Structure 1
Amino acid sequence: MASVFIAYGSTTGNTAYVAESIQRTLKQNGHEVTIEDVADINVAELTKPYDLCCLGCSTWGDDEIELQDDFIPVFEEIENIDLAGKNIACFGCGDSSYEYYCGAVDAIEEACKNAGATIFTDSLKIDGDPKSEQADIDAWAQDLIAKLNA
Protein backbone atom coordinates (compact mmCIF):
# COMPACT_ATOMS: atom_id res chain seq x y z
CA MET A 1 0.00 0.00 0.00
CA ALA A 2 1.40 3.35 -1.06
CA SER A 3 0.82 6.70 0.59
CA VAL A 4 -0.39 9.42 -1.76
CA PHE A 5 -0.85 13.13 -1.15
CA ILE A 6 -3.22 15.10 -3.38
CA ALA A 7 -3.29 18.90 -3.27
CA TYR A 8 -5.55 20.84 -5.59
CA GLY A 9 -6.60 24.40 -6.33
CA SER A 10 -10.15 24.77 -7.59
CA THR A 11 -12.32 27.82 -8.11
CA THR A 12 -15.34 26.38 -9.91
CA GLY A 13 -15.14 22.89 -8.40
CA ASN A 14 -13.89 21.12 -11.52
CA THR A 15 -10.36 20.46 -10.27
CA ALA A 16 -11.74 19.43 -6.87
CA TYR A 17 -13.98 16.92 -8.67
CA VAL A 18 -10.94 15.46 -10.48
CA ALA A 19 -8.93 15.28 -7.22
CA GLU A 20 -11.77 13.52 -5.42
CA SER A 21 -12.19 11.06 -8.30
CA ILE A 22 -8.48 10.21 -8.17
CA GLN A 23 -8.65 9.86 -4.39
CA ARG A 24 -11.64 7.50 -4.59
CA THR A 25 -9.97 5.23 -7.16
CA LEU A 26 -6.70 5.08 -5.23
CA LYS A 27 -8.48 4.30 -1.95
CA GLN A 28 -10.63 1.62 -3.58
CA ASN A 29 -7.38 -0.04 -4.61
CA GLY A 30 -5.92 -0.07 -1.11
CA HIS A 31 -3.75 3.03 -1.12
CA GLU A 32 -3.61 5.54 1.72
CA VAL A 33 -4.63 8.97 0.42
CA THR A 34 -4.46 12.39 2.03
CA ILE A 35 -6.28 15.11 0.09
CA GLU A 36 -6.09 18.85 0.78
CA ASP A 37 -7.24 22.07 -0.78
CA VAL A 38 -3.98 23.85 -1.63
CA ALA A 39 -5.26 26.92 0.26
CA ASP A 40 -4.90 24.87 3.47
CA ILE A 41 -1.26 23.75 3.05
CA ASN A 42 2.21 25.16 2.70
CA VAL A 43 4.83 23.94 0.26
CA ALA A 44 6.68 21.93 2.93
CA GLU A 45 3.85 19.36 2.75
CA LEU A 46 5.40 18.17 -0.51
CA THR A 47 8.58 17.12 1.31
CA LYS A 48 6.81 14.70 3.64
CA PRO A 49 7.41 10.97 3.11
CA TYR A 50 4.64 10.23 0.62
CA ASP A 51 5.23 7.72 -2.15
CA LEU A 52 3.52 10.11 -4.58
CA CYS A 53 2.31 13.71 -4.54
CA CYS A 54 -0.42 14.64 -7.04
CA LEU A 55 -0.83 18.35 -7.72
CA GLY A 56 -3.95 19.67 -9.43
CA CYS A 57 -4.54 23.19 -10.68
CA SER A 58 -6.89 24.84 -13.11
CA THR A 59 -5.61 27.31 -15.71
CA TRP A 60 -7.05 30.73 -16.44
CA GLY A 61 -6.07 33.43 -18.87
CA ASP A 62 -5.87 33.74 -22.62
CA ASP A 63 -2.88 36.07 -22.96
CA GLU A 64 -0.70 34.32 -20.38
CA ILE A 65 -0.76 31.32 -18.09
CA GLU A 66 -2.67 32.10 -14.91
CA LEU A 67 -2.74 29.56 -12.09
CA GLN A 68 -5.75 29.15 -9.87
CA ASP A 69 -5.43 31.85 -7.18
CA ASP A 70 -5.00 29.56 -4.16
CA PHE A 71 -2.21 27.62 -5.89
CA ILE A 72 -0.02 30.68 -6.55
CA PRO A 73 1.65 30.90 -3.08
CA VAL A 74 2.61 27.20 -3.15
CA PHE A 75 3.77 27.42 -6.77
CA GLU A 76 6.00 30.41 -6.01
CA GLU A 77 7.79 28.41 -3.30
CA ILE A 78 8.22 25.07 -5.09
CA GLU A 79 11.65 25.82 -6.51
CA ASN A 80 12.84 26.90 -3.03
CA ILE A 81 12.47 23.40 -1.58
CA ASP A 82 14.32 20.16 -2.23
CA LEU A 83 12.10 17.64 -4.00
CA ALA A 84 14.93 15.24 -4.89
CA GLY A 85 13.64 11.68 -4.70
CA LYS A 86 9.98 12.80 -4.69
CA ASN A 87 7.47 11.46 -7.20
CA ILE A 88 5.12 14.10 -8.58
CA ALA A 89 2.11 13.72 -10.88
CA CYS A 90 0.20 16.78 -12.12
CA PHE A 91 -3.36 17.24 -13.32
CA GLY A 92 -5.68 20.10 -14.07
CA CYS A 93 -8.65 21.51 -15.88
CA GLY A 94 -8.67 24.05 -18.66
CA ASP A 95 -10.23 25.10 -21.93
CA SER A 96 -8.55 23.94 -25.14
CA SER A 97 -9.78 27.03 -26.98
CA TYR A 98 -7.19 29.05 -25.02
CA GLU A 99 -3.62 29.41 -26.25
CA TYR A 100 -2.16 28.03 -23.01
CA TYR A 101 -4.45 25.04 -22.54
CA CYS A 102 -3.74 23.66 -19.05
CA GLY A 103 -0.57 25.73 -18.95
CA ALA A 104 -0.66 25.76 -15.14
CA VAL A 105 -0.14 21.99 -15.17
CA ASP A 106 2.96 22.39 -17.36
CA ALA A 107 4.30 25.24 -15.18
CA ILE A 108 3.86 23.26 -11.94
CA GLU A 109 5.45 20.17 -13.47
CA GLU A 110 8.45 22.23 -14.66
CA ALA A 111 8.87 23.88 -11.24
CA CYS A 112 8.81 20.47 -9.55
CA LYS A 113 11.43 19.12 -11.99
CA ASN A 114 13.60 22.17 -11.29
CA ALA A 115 13.31 21.39 -7.56
CA GLY A 116 14.60 17.86 -8.21
CA ALA A 117 11.34 15.89 -8.35
CA THR A 118 10.73 12.94 -10.61
CA ILE A 119 7.67 13.24 -12.82
CA PHE A 120 5.82 10.00 -12.08
CA THR A 121 3.63 9.91 -15.20
CA ASP A 122 2.34 12.12 -17.98
CA SER A 123 0.07 14.88 -16.75
CA LEU A 124 -3.71 14.67 -16.94
CA LYS A 125 -5.36 17.60 -18.71
CA ILE A 126 -9.13 17.87 -18.66
CA ASP A 127 -10.87 20.01 -21.28
CA GLY A 128 -14.03 21.57 -19.90
CA ASP A 129 -16.44 19.63 -17.70
CA PRO A 130 -14.56 16.81 -15.94
CA LYS A 131 -17.72 14.74 -15.55
CA SER A 132 -17.70 14.21 -19.32
CA GLU A 133 -14.04 13.09 -19.05
CA GLN A 134 -14.53 10.57 -16.23
CA ALA A 135 -13.11 7.71 -18.29
CA ASP A 136 -9.85 9.66 -18.79
CA ILE A 137 -9.67 10.49 -15.07
CA ASP A 138 -10.22 6.85 -14.14
CA ALA A 139 -7.63 5.66 -16.67
CA TRP A 140 -5.05 8.12 -15.31
CA ALA A 141 -5.73 6.98 -11.75
CA GLN A 142 -5.38 3.35 -12.85
CA ASP A 143 -2.03 4.23 -14.44
CA LEU A 144 -0.91 5.71 -11.10
CA ILE A 145 -1.98 2.50 -9.35
CA ALA A 146 -0.13 0.30 -11.82
CA LYS A 147 3.06 2.32 -11.32
CA LEU A 148 2.65 2.42 -7.54
CA ASN A 149 2.19 -1.36 -7.48
CA ALA A 150 5.15 -2.05 -9.77
Structure 2
Amino acid sequence: MSGILVIYGSETGNTKSAATMMAAVLEGRGLAATVRDVRDTGVDAFSEDFDLFLLGVSTWGAVRDEVTEDFKTFYKDMASVDLSGKNVAVFGSGDEGYENFCKAVDSVQERAREKGAFIALEGLKFNLAPHASSDAIRSWAEQAADFLEKK
Protein backbone atom coordinates (compact mmCIF):
# COMPACT_ATOMS: atom_id res chain seq x y z
CA MET A 1 0.00 0.00 0.00
CA SER A 2 1.05 3.57 -0.43
CA GLY A 3 0.37 5.82 2.51
CA ILE A 4 -2.45 8.22 3.20
CA LEU A 5 -4.92 10.05 1.00
CA VAL A 6 -6.31 13.25 2.51
CA ILE A 7 -9.44 14.45 0.74
CA TYR A 8 -10.81 17.78 1.93
CA GLY A 9 -13.70 20.09 1.20
CA SER A 10 -13.10 23.66 2.27
CA GLU A 11 -15.34 26.59 1.49
CA THR A 12 -13.40 29.09 3.62
CA GLY A 13 -9.94 27.50 3.58
CA ASN A 14 -9.97 26.24 7.18
CA THR A 15 -10.29 22.54 6.39
CA LYS A 16 -7.75 22.87 3.56
CA SER A 17 -5.27 24.41 6.01
CA ALA A 18 -5.85 21.58 8.46
CA ALA A 19 -5.35 19.00 5.68
CA THR A 20 -2.05 20.61 4.73
CA MET A 21 -0.97 20.72 8.37
CA MET A 22 -1.79 17.01 8.77
CA ALA A 23 0.10 16.07 5.62
CA ALA A 24 3.19 17.84 6.96
CA VAL A 25 3.00 15.90 10.23
CA LEU A 26 2.53 12.60 8.41
CA GLU A 27 5.39 13.29 6.00
CA GLY A 28 7.54 14.25 9.00
CA ARG A 29 6.91 10.74 10.28
CA GLY A 30 8.14 9.32 6.98
CA LEU A 31 4.70 8.52 5.55
CA ALA A 32 3.56 9.41 2.06
CA ALA A 33 0.60 11.80 2.22
CA THR A 34 -1.37 12.86 -0.84
CA VAL A 35 -3.75 15.81 -0.47
CA ARG A 36 -6.70 16.38 -2.83
CA ASP A 37 -9.57 18.83 -3.03
CA VAL A 38 -12.91 16.96 -2.96
CA ARG A 39 -14.07 18.99 -5.97
CA ASP A 40 -11.32 17.30 -8.01
CA THR A 41 -11.83 13.80 -6.58
CA GLY A 42 -14.52 11.17 -6.88
CA VAL A 43 -15.29 8.18 -4.71
CA ASP A 44 -13.26 6.09 -7.13
CA ALA A 45 -10.34 7.33 -5.00
CA PHE A 46 -11.32 4.62 -2.52
CA SER A 47 -10.20 2.03 -5.07
CA GLU A 48 -6.70 3.49 -5.05
CA ASP A 49 -3.98 1.80 -3.06
CA PHE A 50 -3.87 3.81 0.18
CA ASP A 51 -3.56 2.52 3.75
CA LEU A 52 -5.71 5.27 5.23
CA PHE A 53 -8.22 7.79 3.93
CA LEU A 54 -8.58 11.03 5.88
CA LEU A 55 -11.72 12.93 4.91
CA GLY A 56 -11.94 16.62 5.79
CA VAL A 57 -15.33 18.33 5.72
CA SER A 58 -16.54 21.61 7.14
CA THR A 59 -19.87 22.53 8.65
CA TRP A 60 -21.20 25.89 7.57
CA GLY A 61 -23.05 27.70 10.36
CA ALA A 62 -26.56 26.42 10.96
CA VAL A 63 -26.45 24.11 7.95
CA ARG A 64 -29.28 21.61 7.93
CA ASP A 65 -27.76 19.42 5.23
CA GLU A 66 -25.37 16.67 6.19
CA VAL A 67 -22.42 18.33 4.44
CA THR A 68 -21.49 21.62 2.79
CA GLU A 69 -21.99 22.28 -0.91
CA ASP A 70 -18.46 21.36 -1.99
CA PHE A 71 -18.70 17.89 -0.37
CA LYS A 72 -22.27 17.00 -1.44
CA THR A 73 -21.50 14.97 -4.58
CA PHE A 74 -18.73 12.99 -2.88
CA TYR A 75 -20.93 12.34 0.16
CA LYS A 76 -23.89 11.25 -1.98
CA ASP A 77 -21.66 8.97 -4.05
CA MET A 78 -20.21 7.37 -0.90
CA ALA A 79 -23.60 5.67 -0.51
CA SER A 80 -22.87 3.58 -3.61
CA VAL A 81 -19.39 2.25 -2.72
CA ASP A 82 -18.29 -0.68 -0.60
CA LEU A 83 -15.71 0.54 1.88
CA SER A 84 -15.07 -2.84 3.46
CA GLY A 85 -11.39 -3.20 4.22
CA LYS A 86 -10.80 0.57 4.01
CA ASN A 87 -9.44 2.57 6.94
CA VAL A 88 -11.12 5.95 7.23
CA ALA A 89 -10.99 8.89 9.63
CA VAL A 90 -12.88 12.18 9.37
CA PHE A 91 -11.96 15.69 10.48
CA GLY A 92 -13.42 19.12 10.01
CA SER A 93 -14.00 22.65 11.11
CA GLY A 94 -17.14 24.29 12.36
CA ASP A 95 -18.35 27.16 14.48
CA GLU A 96 -19.01 26.35 18.14
CA GLY A 97 -21.56 29.15 18.16
CA TYR A 98 -24.02 26.93 16.29
CA GLU A 99 -26.07 23.99 17.54
CA ASN A 100 -24.84 21.80 14.65
CA PHE A 101 -21.14 22.18 15.50
CA CYS A 102 -19.19 19.98 13.07
CA LYS A 103 -22.30 17.99 12.16
CA ALA A 104 -20.72 17.16 8.81
CA VAL A 105 -17.90 15.25 10.53
CA ASP A 106 -20.49 13.01 12.18
CA SER A 107 -22.45 12.57 8.93
CA VAL A 108 -19.44 11.57 6.84
CA GLN A 109 -18.08 9.28 9.54
CA GLU A 110 -21.43 7.54 9.87
CA ARG A 111 -21.73 7.12 6.09
CA ALA A 112 -18.24 5.57 5.96
CA ARG A 113 -19.12 3.21 8.83
CA GLU A 114 -22.42 2.23 7.16
CA LYS A 115 -20.54 1.38 3.97
CA GLY A 116 -18.19 -0.97 5.83
CA ALA A 117 -15.15 1.19 6.51
CA PHE A 118 -13.10 0.69 9.63
CA ILE A 119 -13.07 4.01 11.51
CA ALA A 120 -9.38 4.30 12.35
CA LEU A 121 -9.78 7.38 14.58
CA GLU A 122 -12.81 9.08 16.02
CA GLY A 123 -13.58 12.30 14.19
CA LEU A 124 -11.60 15.44 14.91
CA LYS A 125 -13.67 18.60 15.28
CA PHE A 126 -12.11 22.02 15.57
CA ASN A 127 -13.52 25.51 15.91
CA LEU A 128 -13.06 27.84 12.93
CA ALA A 129 -9.46 28.53 11.86
CA PRO A 130 -7.10 25.63 12.42
CA HIS A 131 -4.22 27.71 13.80
CA ALA A 132 -6.09 27.99 17.12
CA SER A 133 -6.41 24.20 17.21
CA SER A 134 -3.01 23.33 15.75
CA ASP A 135 -1.98 21.20 18.74
CA ALA A 136 -5.13 19.07 18.45
CA ILE A 137 -4.74 18.77 14.67
CA ARG A 138 -1.09 17.74 14.93
CA SER A 139 -1.92 15.27 17.70
CA TRP A 140 -4.67 13.69 15.58
CA ALA A 141 -2.27 13.39 12.63
CA GLU A 142 0.27 11.73 14.96
CA GLN A 143 -2.44 9.27 16.02
CA ALA A 144 -3.07 8.51 12.35
CA ALA A 145 0.64 7.80 11.89
CA ASP A 146 0.63 5.59 15.01
CA PHE A 147 -2.35 3.67 13.62
CA LEU A 148 -0.45 2.88 10.42
CA GLU A 149 2.70 1.89 12.28
CA LYS A 150 0.72 -0.64 14.32
CA LYS A 151 -0.81 -2.24 11.21
Taking structure 2 as the reference length, what is the TM-score of the superposition? 0.94
SS in 1 for 2:33: strand
Aligned partners of 2:10 and 2:16 also within 8 Å:
yes
What code does the residue aligned with 1:101 have?
A: F
Alignment of 1:20-35 (within 5 A): 20-35=20-35
Cα offset, 1:63, TM superposition: 5.7
- In the other structure, the counterpart of 1:143 is 143
For residues 44 and 74 of structure 1, what CA distance do their matches in structure 2 show?
A: 10
Aligned partners of 1:51 and 1:86 also within 8 Å:
yes
- In the other structure, the counterpart of 2:83 is 83
For residues 96 and 65 of structure 1, what CA distance do their matches in structure 2 show?
A: 17
- In the other structure, the counterpart of 1:67 is 67
Q: How far does the alpha carbon of each residue in 1:46-100 deviate from its partner, in whole angstroms, 9 at most, with x for none?
A: 2222100000010014262452211110000102001000000000000112111
Q: Structure 1 stretches (4+) deviating beyond 3 angstroms? A: none
What stretches of structure 2 of length at least 5 have no aligned partner? Answer: none
What code does the residue aligned with 1:46 have?
A: F
Q: State percent identity of aligned pairs.
A: 36
What stretches of structure 1 of length at least 5 have no aligned partner? Answer: none
- In the other structure, the counterpart of 2:45 is 45
Aligned partners of 1:7 and 1:56 also within 8 Å:
yes
What code does the residue aligned with 2:135 have?
A: A
- The structure richer in strand per residue is 1
SS in 2 for 1:88: strand
What code does the residue aligned with 1:67 have?
A: V
Say what the alpha-carbon RMSD is for the aligned residues: 1.4
For residues 47 and 105 of structure 1, what CA distance do their matches in structure 2 show?
A: 22
Do residues 5 (structure 1) and 5 (structure 2) align?
yes
For residues 68 and 3 of structure 1, what CA distance do their matches in structure 2 show?
A: 27
